[in-house]
């Protein structure tokens, strides 16, 4: 996007500088830094015993999805959180534990504050995997969500899914609180963690989504 603007080189035939002039873009490149560090480098000093207990004494953290405290950050938002709590793990886990209360984790609080302190018109959350995306929440999504979803489906080739049996996520909360379009993009296909060999394909698939989010 930045190279396109600075070099006056269109992206897929689209001149980007006019969009930069009128669309404010906020990007959070990593929502779960402690969890990523754990997967890549193992438990930090002072946490090893506690984390191994959560991980059933296994030192393979490749499937770890939670933050360092064993809370799944995408089950942390007050959007049917109580419903998820009843059917998910009730203690810290490598994945799916929604916490003992909504918005208990600093990472989730930071994301909620980011939204509350800005006037975002559209939200995109990027996950893996499935080559599909979700855009509805309890019928509270606005009518233009369908228009945007149709365009995202066209430009990405991903399957558009309005409702999915999963709640308390960032997108769910955004739609519930603000009644604005929100989308969870499930990038790639296979078994998590996906290989880096899929990165270029995922980039090309999401480039169209990114551009559509600017011009719609």
* Catalytic residue IDs: 186
> Which residues partner with 123 through β-bridges?
182
Give dist(CA 198, CA 189) in Å, integer.
8
For residue 87, give the 3-state DSSP assignment.
helix
Q: How far is CA 84 from CA 80, 87, 88, 101, 203, in A?
A: 7, 5, 6, 11, 31
For residues 93 and 113, what is the distance between their CA atoms, to the nearest angstrom? 25
Q: How far apart are CA 170 and CA 167, in angstroms?
A: 9
Question: H helices within 42-105, ranges in order?
Answer: 48-54, 81-87
Planar angle of CA 64, 65, 68, nearest 5 degrees: 80
* Backbone region of residue 128 per phi and psi (left: phi > 0; alpha: psi in -120 to 50; beta: other values): beta
d(CA 191, CA 63) in angstroms, rounded, equals 10
């Amino acid at each position: 996007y930045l190279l396109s603007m600075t070099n006056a080189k269109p992206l897929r035939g689209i001149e980007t500088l006019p969009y930069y002039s009128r669309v404010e873009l906020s990007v959070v490149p990593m929502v779960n830094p402690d969890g990523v560090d754990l997967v890549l480098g193992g438990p930090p000093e002072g946490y090893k015993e506690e984390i191994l207990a959560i991980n059933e004494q296994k030192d393979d953290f490749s499937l770890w999805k939670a933050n360092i405290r064993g809370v799944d950050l995408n089950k942390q938002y007050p959007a049917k959180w109580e419903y998820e709590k009843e059917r998910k793990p009730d203690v810290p886990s490598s994945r799916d534990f929604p916490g003992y209360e909504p918005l208990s984790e600093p990472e989730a609080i930071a994301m909620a504050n980011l939204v509350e302190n800005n006037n975002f018109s559209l939200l995109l959350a990027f996950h893996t995997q499935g080559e599909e995306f979700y855009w509805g929440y309890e019928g509270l999504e606005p009518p233009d969500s369908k228009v945007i979803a149709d365009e995202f489906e066209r430009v990405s080739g991903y399957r558009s899914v309005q409702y999915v049996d999963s709640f308390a996520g960032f997108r769910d909360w955004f739609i519930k609180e603000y009644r604005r379009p929100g989308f969870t993009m499930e990038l790639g296909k296979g078994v998590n963690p996906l290989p880096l060999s899929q990165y270029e394909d995922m980039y090309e698939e999401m480039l169209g989504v990114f551009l559509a989010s600017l011009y719609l």
